Structure formats: structure tokens, C-alpha cells
Structure 1
């Protein structure tokens, strides 16, 4: 496996969505035991999906939706064999760079996400800050994080 990440994105591209689902199935459903009905919450159709490929193999994904609270980043996942290589950081940096012009036009110019507690240091290194109390989602502790572009 090379280390070169190729990032593709799209809102309704079936190949990108299929690759994203492949990663999410492996990480959230198989590895973490999340119920598929919780994982597939009906929000995929309105989201922009990002998938990173190494040697044409999908290894990292995230989705983003524009809401009245800003741009909501969700379903960030990296397959186990590709972790600790900086792929999620590359993917999220690309996602945020692509969507920064959109965020700048919103009444709440921010990116936000609900991170699993184990991932907090990763998101903090990207500039996100914790807001509010820890909450449970799909049986896993999460923390609301925000990256405000007005700062």
C-alpha cells in the first residue's frame, strides 16, 4: 500500500457513496457494533460525501451537511489498516477548505461535529474546541466540538 491519498467528493455520486458506506460498515457496524439503523440515519442523501483512496482502495471517509448551526461534519472513519497515517487529517483539511466559502456565508460560520471521546485529541489538533457536556450517541460517549471561523 502506497501512502498517497486521493480524495474524491460528491453529493450524489453512487461510487463515492458506496465507498463511504464500505468504510462506515467496517468501522462503525463491524468494529464498533453500532446498529445499522442508527448508522444509516437518512441524512446521506443531503450530504456531501468525501472518501480518500489509497491505491484505489477506500480507506477514509466523512460527510458534511449545511445546517442552521453551520456545516455539520459526521461519519468520520478510517479503516483499521490505514490508521495513524494522517489520512483523516488530510481528508478533513480538504473538506474544510472546500466548504470554507460556504461556511463564511452562514449566520453561524462554523464547522461542528459530535466526536467520540477517544478522538478528541485528534480534533483539537485541527482547531476544534469542546462545547457543552459529554453525551451518549449509539451507546458511545461523544463531545460536541466546534471550529468557529469568526475567531
Structure 2
């Protein structure tokens, strides 16, 4: 059974970091020092499981009052195309609403822009490079 949740235990945080390592570092060649950053200590983390196996991750920061910055959203390759990204985003947006955050911002890898547009995010920047990967800034009002 697939579940998503806010991370509350050290094991769950380890599981989220495991998925990020597999997707961003191993698959996309993002250097570890860019993937694991200073914001990991203060961000609110989320993890998705298939039973007890970690399969997805993401985090939210509040860089300015009322703004949720969604980052590091990823799903293991064998689980993509099964709407788990939608489930992760629903979980993260629900948390943002409960925390009284009114805007969600994110930097989407350019190939993922159509996914976020289906979730009603709007592009707010020209394309830019981050960790050698093209991105677009996007946002949505909650």
C-alpha cells in the first residue's frame, strides 16, 4: 500500500534522504554537496512508502512569511507514472495549508513543468540552470 507522510522520526528522515540520493545524486549526477544542503536541518520533510519501502521524498521551507518553498520532490524511477508525484504534492500542499502558508513556490526541472502546470502552478521565470539542470520557477496560491 502506498502512503505519504510528514517525516517525524530519524528513520523516516533517513528514508527520505535515501530516495533523494538515488534520484538526484545517483540518477541525475547532482553533486552530494549541492543535494544535501544547509536547509535540510530546518526544512519539513516528507516521505512516500510502498508498504515499508521508501519510494518518494520532498521538503518544504518557509523562506519568507506565508510562503512554502517546495523542494527536492522525487520518486524512484520504477514508481514514476503512477500518480505518486500528485500524492506527494497533495500531502505537501495540505501541510502548507495547515501551517497557514498562502503561496507555494518551487523550482521545477524544465521537463517537469507540465506536471506542475496540471497542478495549477504557473511559470514565474525564464529557464535557468541549477546543478547543471534546466529549471523554471513556478508558484501557486493556496
Q: Which interval holds the TM-score relative to the shorter structure?
A: over 0.9
Return the TM-score normalized by structure 2. 0.94
**CA-CA distance at 1:101 after TM superposition:** 3.2
Residues 39-118 of structure 1 correspond to what in structure 2 (within 5 A)? Answer: 39-68=35-64, 70-104=67-101, 109-118=102-111
Dislocated runs of 4+, deviation >4 Å: none
Deviations 1:76-129 (A, max 9, x none): 00001111111111111011012213244xxxx200000000100111111100
Deviation at 1:8, TM superposition (A): 2.2
Report how many residues are paired: 141
Q: Tell me the alpha carbon deviations over residues 26-51 of structure 1, each in whole angstroms, 9 at most, x when there is no partner.
A: 10000000100000111111111110
Aligned alpha-carbon RMSD (Å): 1.3
Match of 1:137 among 126, 130, 141: 130
Question: Distance in 2 between the 1:120 and 1:8 partners?
Answer: 24
Runs of 5+ in structure 1 lacking a partner? none
Distance 2:141 2:5 in 1: 25
Q: Within 5 A, what are the aligned runs for 1:117-136? A: 117-136=110-129
SS, match of residue 134 in structure 2: strand
Aligned match of 1:10:
7
What CA distance in whole angstroms lies between the structure 1 residues aligned with 2:51 and 2:141?
35
Query: Which TM-score applies when normalising by structure 1?
Result: 0.88
Whole-angstrom CA distance in 2 between matches of 1:132 and 1:31: 26
Gaps of 5+ in 2: none
Equivalent pair of 1:29/1:36 in contact (CA under 8 Å): yes
